């Protein structure tokens, strides 16, 4: 049993961003053929150029069903099938109290963070069923596990992803498709650089790593475990990964 993904085919949505591009790199390093999908072809090409291995960059808006179907069809054309889907595209989009949030903003947040997970999972499921196995890894957030008053749209969508994970896992268990969910806390990506705490304490000593937000690499290592044969009997589960300070 190993974490080797040799000859496996993985789609990583939001693969031009912080956590997604790191997962793509980790999967390629483990031997997978990787499709990275997000909206900007230019950004995807830049990321693809920095990853050693077979990488296909497909401009895709994961909120648009036709574009999702196209992403799946092109992956099957190019690589012959799909073994792994990481539903990573997402983001809080707005920091607003519920009263200030417009209905169209609510809809957009749900479309990006929840409906896209359903659309992409549904789109790959037929191919995974035909092949008799598959792995789906959904990136939720600790915002989906606790109160988040400035992000009710994001918290509600990410909570939905946790429940959707369990429902899809049960539905597709007879087809040998494992569906699991990672819920990162604040993670040290470029996009949240302004929110990260200092790495050095007032007395000049370093903050212990487990009391500091994880790096994208830590999330990617968990995503590798959930894509590998080491997690063969794990499905429908939720894996938070965060600084211990977020438990307080």
- Which residue numbers are catalytic? 154
Two tokens, residue 166? 């369990």
Regarding 178 and contact with ligand NAD (CB under 6 A), the answer is: no
Q: Phi, psi at residue 45, to the nearest 5°?
A: -60, -40
* Residue of 187, 228, 231, 243 interacting with ligand NAD (CB under 6 A): 187
Could you tell me if 223 and 178 are in contact, meaning their C-beta atoms sit under 8 angstroms apart? no
Per-residue contact track with ligand NAD, 77 to 116, x per CB under 6 A?
Answer: -----------xxxx--------------------x----
Smaller CB distance to ligand NAD: residue 17 or 160?
17
Per-residue contact track with ligand NAD, 37 to 56, x per CB under 6 A?
Answer: -xx-----------------
Closest separation between CB of residue 97 and ligand NAD, Å?
20
Closest separation between CB of residue 202 and ligand NAD, Å?
24
Smaller CB distance to ligand NAD: residue 31 or 65?
65
* Residue of 17, 134, 155, 160 interacting with ligand NAD (CB under 6 A): 17
Which residue, among 54, 35, 27, has the nearest Cα to 226 in the 3D structure?
Answer: 27
Could you tell me if 224 and 12 are in contact, meaning their C-beta atoms sit under 8 angstroms apart? no
Q: Which of residues 59-78 bind ligand NAD (CB under 6 A)?
A: 60-63
Cα 54 from Cα 35, distance rounded (Å): 9
Query: Which residues on neighbouring strands pair with residue 59, listed in sequence order?
Result: 38
Which residue's Cβ lies closest to ligand NAD?
17
Two tokens, residue 41? 């072809």
Smaller CB distance to ligand NAD: residue 64 or 129?
64
Rg (CA), the chain: 18
Q: Segment near ligand NAD (CB under 6 A), from 94-102, 124-132, 173-181, 186-194? A: 186-194
Regarding 144 and contact with ligand NAD (CB under 6 A), the answer is: no
Closest separation between CB of residue 139 and ligand NAD, Å?
4
Which residue, among 147, 157, 150, 67, has the nearest Cα to 107 in the 3D structure?
Answer: 157
Task: Give the Å distances, CA to CA, from 14 to 28, 80, 207.
Answer: 16, 22, 30
Cα 166 from Cα 138, distance rounded (Å): 11
Cα 65 from Cα 115, distance rounded (Å): 10
Regarding 186 and contact with ligand NAD (CB under 6 A), the answer is: yes
Q: Which of residues 191-230 bind ligand NAD (CB under 6 A)?
A: 191-192
Burial of 163 by CB count in 10 Å (0-12 exposed, 13-18 middle, 19+ buried)?
A: middle
Smaller CB distance to ligand NAD: residue 5 or 62?
62
Cα 139 from Cα 218, distance rounded (Å): 13
> Residue numbers of the site for ligand NAD (CB under 6 A)?
13-14, 16-20, 38-39, 60-63, 88-91, 112, 139, 141, 184, 186-187, 189, 191-192
């Amino acid at each position: 049993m190993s974490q080797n993904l040799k000859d496996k085919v993985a789609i990583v949505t939001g693969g031009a961003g912080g956590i997604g591009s790191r997962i793509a790199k980790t999967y390629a390093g483990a031997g997978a053929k990787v499709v990275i999908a997000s909206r900007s072809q230019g950004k995807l090409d830049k990321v693809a150029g920095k990853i050693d291995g077979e990488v296909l960059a497909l401009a895709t808006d994961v909120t648009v069903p036709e574009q999702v179907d196209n992403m799946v069809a092109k992956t099957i054309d190019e690589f012959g099938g799909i073994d792994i889907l990481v539903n990573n595209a997402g983001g809080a989009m707005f920091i607003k109290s519920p009263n200030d949030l417009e209905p169209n903003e609510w809809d957009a947040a749900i479309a990006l963070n929840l409906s896209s997970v359903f659309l992409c999972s549904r789109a790959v499921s037929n191919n995974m069923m035909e092949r008799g196995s598959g792995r789906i890894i959904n990136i939720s957030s600790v915002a989906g596990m606790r109160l988040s008053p400035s992000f009710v749209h994001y918290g509600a969508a990410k909570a939905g992803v946790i429940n959707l994970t369990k429902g899809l896992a049960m539905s597709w268990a007879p087809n040998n498709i494992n569906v699991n969910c990672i819920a990162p806390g604040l993670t040290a990506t470029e996009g949240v650089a302004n929110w990260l705490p200092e790495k050095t304490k007032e007395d000049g000593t370093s903050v212990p790593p487990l009391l500091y937000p994880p790096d994208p690499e830590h999330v990617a290592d968990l995503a590798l475990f959930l894509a590998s044969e080491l997690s063969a009997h794990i499905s429908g589960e939720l894996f938070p990964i965060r600084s211990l300070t977020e438990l307080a």
